[in-house]
Chain A
Amino acid sequence: MTKPINYVIALAIIGVLATLSVMLPIYMDDLVYRVLMLSGIAVIMAVSLNLINGFTGQFSIGHAGFQAVGAYVGAALTVYGHNDIFGHLPKDGQIGTGWMSLAVGAGPMVASMIAGGLAAALIGYVVGLPSLRLRGDYLAIVTLGFGEIIRVVVENNDAVGGPRGFSGNLDLGVSVPAITNFFWVFGVAIAVILFARNLRFSISGLQYLAVREDEVAAQAVGIDTTRTKVNAFVIGSFFAGVGGALFAHYEQTILISSFNFVRSFDFVTIVVLGGLGSVTGSILSAVVLTALPEILRSSLGAQFNQYRLVTYALLLIVMMLVRPQGIFGRGELSIAKLRSKSKKYATQ
C-alpha cells in the first residue's frame, strides 16, 4: 500500500510540471527552452538504454532504431488517425502552449506515446530474442543490424515519407501535431527515472545485476537469464519508443537519417560517460552532453565549428582513458550517502 503522502507528492509534482509547461515557453528564451526539451528527451533515451547496457550488462548499440520506431508509429497514429480519432486537433497541428493546449493535446500525446512505446517494445522483443544464443559483441552487431533494417523499411515506405521525411500527409492536409511540451517530456523523464530506481533495488533489479555480473553463476542459482535479458530489452525499448514519440511531436518533421547508428553511438556514449548502471550518471551525462555543444556554439563562434568534432572526440578519448568506468561508476547519488560522508568527515 502506497502511503498517502506519496500521492500528495505525485500530485504536487504534476502541478509543478504543468505550471512550468505553461510558464516556461513564455518566459524562457526559445533556444534555452529547446535545449531543455532536447535534454529531457536525451535523459529518457539514456536511462532506458542504461536498463539494457548498464543494469543487465548487455551490449546494445542500436537504440536509435527503437526511438525511430516510436517516433514513426506515434506520428503515423496522430496523422492518419486525425480524421477519425483526433479530430479536435487543428489540421496544422499548432495548439500552442497554454493550459487549454495541455488538455487538448493530452489525449493524442498519451495515445501516441503508448502506441510508439508498444511498437518499439515489440521490436525490442524481437531483437532481444537472439540474446538466447548470442553473447556480447555478436548481440551488439545484431542490434546495429536491426537499426539499419528499420532505416531501409522506412526509406521504402512512402506513407511515412521515405527518405524525404515525415511531417504529415499532404493529401489529408494533416501535419504532425506539436503536442509535446515540457509537462510530458519531464513527466516521462521523471517516471522513467523512478522506474529505473525502483527496479534497481527490487528483486527483479537484483536479477538484472546478477546477470550482468556473472551470467553462468546467475543461471546456477536459478535465475532465468534469457527471460531477464529479453525483459531488459523490452522495457528499455518501450521507453525509447516513448522518447521517440515525444521527439516526433516536438520536431514535427522526422527524418529517418537522424536515427542512424551515429545517434545510437551518441546514446551509448552518454550512458558510458555517466557510468554504466548509474541512473544519476545517465541523467547528468545526458544533460551535459546535450547542452554543452550549444553553449560552446554560442560562446565560441563559427570559426571554431570545424574543430567541434575533433574536440568532442578528444574529450571522449581522454575521458575514457582517465576514468573508464564513467563519472559515477556503478553508484548513485543519494542524500543519505552524502549525509553519512559529511558526518564521517565531521567527526575526524
Chain B
Amino acid sequence: MKHLHTSVRKRGLVFGGTDMNSTVRVGWMSALAVATLASLGVGGCKAPKDGGAAGETSTKATQNLDVKAIKVGEYSSMTGETATFGQESDAGIQYALAEINAAGGIEVAGKKYPVTVELQDDQSKPEEAKTVAVKFASDADIIAVLGEVASSRSKTAAPEYQRAGIPMISPSSTNPDVTKVGDYIFRVCFIDPFQGYIMAKFAKDELKLSNVAVLRDPSQDYSVGLADAFIKEFTAMGGKISTDVSYKASDSDFRSQLGQVKTTNADGVFIPGYYGEVGTIARQAREIGIKAPLMGGDGWDSSELVKGAGGPGGALEGAYFSTHYSASETSKRVQDFVAAYKKAKGMEPAALVAQGYDAMMILADAIKRAGSFERAKVRQALAETKDYDAVTGRITLDENRNANKSGVVVQIKGDKFVYTKTIEPKN
C-alpha cells in the first residue's frame, strides 16, 4: 500500500476541485487572459478598407506618403539556429545604413531623406517570419523590406509582402522558388541552379574531373538545393557522380561517409555545406587519405573557414569554392569596401555581410532612381536595376527578379581566398 500512499501524498487532491487559493489564482489568470485579449481587441481595430468587397483579404495598408524619414523593414534570424547568418547579414545592412546616413540620406526628387531600419528578429522560425511580415505589411510607413537570409523563411513571408505590395529584397536566399511568389519579391544573389552550374563547369572544364562525390545535409534547404543543382549540371556536361552521401551539420564525425567516398575513387568531392562543418569534414577527409580536390559553394565564405581544418595550410589548402566576390579581387570597389569595413569593425567582412550591404545599397539606389516613395514606383525601379556596381559583383536584376551576375571561383591559399576564375551565366 506504500505505493498508493505516496501517490496520493505526491499528487495532492485526487479529483480536481478548486481549493480556495486556486480560486484566487484562477481569477488572476483569467484576468490576465482577458486583459491580453482585450488589449488585442482594443489595439486591434482598423478602419474598413475603402470600397473593399467583402470577399477580399484585406492586407493592403494604404501607404503613408508624407515621409520625413525613409523607413525600411528588416527581418532576420538574430537568434536561434541560423543566428550567425542573420547577424552577419544585419551587420552588412547596418554598415550600409551608417554609410547612407553619413552622406545625409537618400536623395529623392532633389531632397535628401535620412533612412531608418526597423529590425525584427524571427528567431530562425518560419511562423515568426510570417508574423513579422504581417506586422510590416500593416505598417503604412514602410517603403520596402530586407530579408530573409534563409530561403525557407523568405518563401514563407514573401506572399504577405506580395499581397501588401511592399517590395522585398532578400540578400542571400538562393532557392529559385522565392522570387516566383510574385513581382514584388527580389533577391540580390544568384540562385542555386546557377551556383550548381558554376562549380560543375569549373570542375569539368578547369579541374577536368569526371567522377565527383557529393556530400549533402538533407535537413538543410541550401545544401539540398545546391547539391541537386550541381548533380544536374555536372551530369548534363557528361560527368559522373561517384556517390551522394549525407551528413548532419551537427555531427562531429564524418569519417564513415568519407570512407564510403574513398571506396568510389572519386576524383573530386563537392561539399555544399556551411563553414562551421566544412573544415572538420576536410580535415577528416585528408586524414583517411582522400587526396582529391575539395569543392564547395558560398556557404564556405567566411574568414573562420580554415580554422576547423587546421588553420592556414591545413586540410582545406588548395580547395575551391564558388562565391560572389573575392576579397583579393583587384576590383577597387571590393578593395575599398573590405579595407573600410576592416578598419571600422576590426575584421574582414564575411560574404553575408557584403550581401546585406549590397541589398541595402541597391534598395537605396532604386529609391533614388524612382524619385518617389511610392512602393509601386520603387518596385519598378528595382526591377530596372542594371549593371549596378555592387561589392558582390555587377548586378542586373533579370525578368525573374534574380541577380544576373557572374560568379567567382576562389582557391584557398593560406588564410586567403585567391581569385581563380569568373564564370558567366549561361545566357
Binding site for B on A (CB under 8 A): 22, 25-36, 38, 94, 96-101, 151, 155-156, 162-165, 167, 170, 178, 209, 213-214, 216-217, 251-253, 255, 257-258, 277-278, 280-281, 284, 287-288, 291-292, 294-295, 297-298, 302, 305-306, 308-309, 323, 325, 327-333, 337-338, 341
In Å, the complex CA distance between A216 and B4 comes to 9
Question: Of B41, B52, B138, which one neighbours A26 at CB under 8 angstroms?
Answer: B52
Are B131's CB and A34's CB within 8 A?
yes
Which residues of A sit under 8 angstroms from B137, Cβ to Cβ? 30
Known: A251-B130, A302-B118, A306-B78. A25 touches B29 (CB 8 A): no
The winner among A32, A34, A251, A332 for most chain B CB atoms within 10 A is: A32
**Contact across chains for A156 and B218 when beta carbons are under 8 A apart:** yes
Could you jot down 12 A-B contacts, CB within 8 Å? Answer: A29-B44, A155-B218, A155-B219, A162-B218, A251-B130, A255-B152, A281-B29, A302-B118, A308-B121, A309-B123, A330-B17, A332-B16
Which residues on the A side are within 8 Å of B19 (C-beta)? Answer: 329, 331
B59 touches A30 (CB 8 A): yes
Contact: A32 with B41, CB < 8 Å?
yes
Q: With A98-B54, A331-B16 as given contacts, are A258 and B224 in contact (CB-CB < 8 Å)?
A: no
Binary per-residue interface labels of chain B (54-92) against chain A in the complex, 1 for a CB within 8 Å, 0 otherwise? 111111000000000000000000110000000000000
Question: Most chain-B CB neighbours within 10 Å: which of A216, A217, A255, A292?
Answer: A255
Q: Which residues of A contact B134 (CB under 8 A)?
A: 30-31, 34
Identity of the chain B residue whose Cβ is nearest the Cβ of A332 in the assembled complex? B16
Residues of chain B lying within 8 A (CB to CB) of residue A280: 26
Could you tell me if A305 and B16 are in contact, using CB atoms closer than 8 angstroms? no
B45 contacts partner chain A, Cβ-Cβ < 8 Å = yes
Given A164-B224, A255-B126, A330-B15, A96-B57 contact (CB < 8 Å): yes
In the complex, which of the residues A257, A278, A287 contacts B36, with contact meaning CB atoms closer than 8 Å? A287
Residues of A within 8 A of B78 (CB): 305-306
Contacts of B155 in A (CB 8 A): 165, 167, 253
Q: Which residues of B contact A258 (CB under 8 A)?
A: 125-127
Contacting chain A: which of B6-14, B196-204, B355-363?
A: B6-14
Q: What chain B residues lie within 8 Å of A165 (beta carbons)?
A: 126, 152, 155-156, 221
Known: A26-B48, A38-B127. A288 touches B36 (CB 8 A): yes
- Interface membership of B22, Cβ < 8 A: yes
- B152 vs chain A, min Cβ distance (A): 5
B residues less than 8 Å from A302 (CB atoms):
118-121
Instruction: Report if A28-B44 is in contact (Cβ < 8 Å); known contacts: A258-B127, A284-B30.
Output: yes
Are B32 and A26 in touch, CB under 8 angstroms? no
For B15, the chain A residues whose CB sits under 8 A away are 209, 330
* Across-interface contacts of A33 in B (CB, < 8 A): 44
Residues on B with beta carbons closer than 8 Å to the beta carbon of A164 = 151-152, 175, 177, 221, 224-225
* 8 extra A-B contacts, CB within 8 A, seeds A284-B30, A306-B121, A329-B16: A99-B54, A164-B224, A165-B152, A213-B7, A253-B126, A329-B18, A331-B17, A331-B22
B43 CB contacts on chain A under 8 angstroms: 29, 32
With the chains together, A26 CA to B45 CA distance in Å?
Answer: 9
Residues in A whose Cβ lies below 8 Å from that of B7: 213-214
Q: Is the CB of A255 within 8 A of B55?
A: no
CA distance A288 to B79 in the complex (A): 22
In the complex, the answer to whether B14 meets A163 with C-beta atoms within 8 Å is: no
Chain A residues near B119 (CB-CB < 8 A)? 302
Instruction: Judge whether A216 and B3 touch: CB under 8 Å.
Output: yes
Q: Is B58 a contact of A25 with CB atoms below 8 Å? A: yes
Instruction: Assess the B221–A291 pair: CB atoms within 8 A.
Output: no
Q: Is B427 an interface residue (CB 8 A)?
A: no
Residues of B within 8 A of A308 (CB): 79, 121, 123
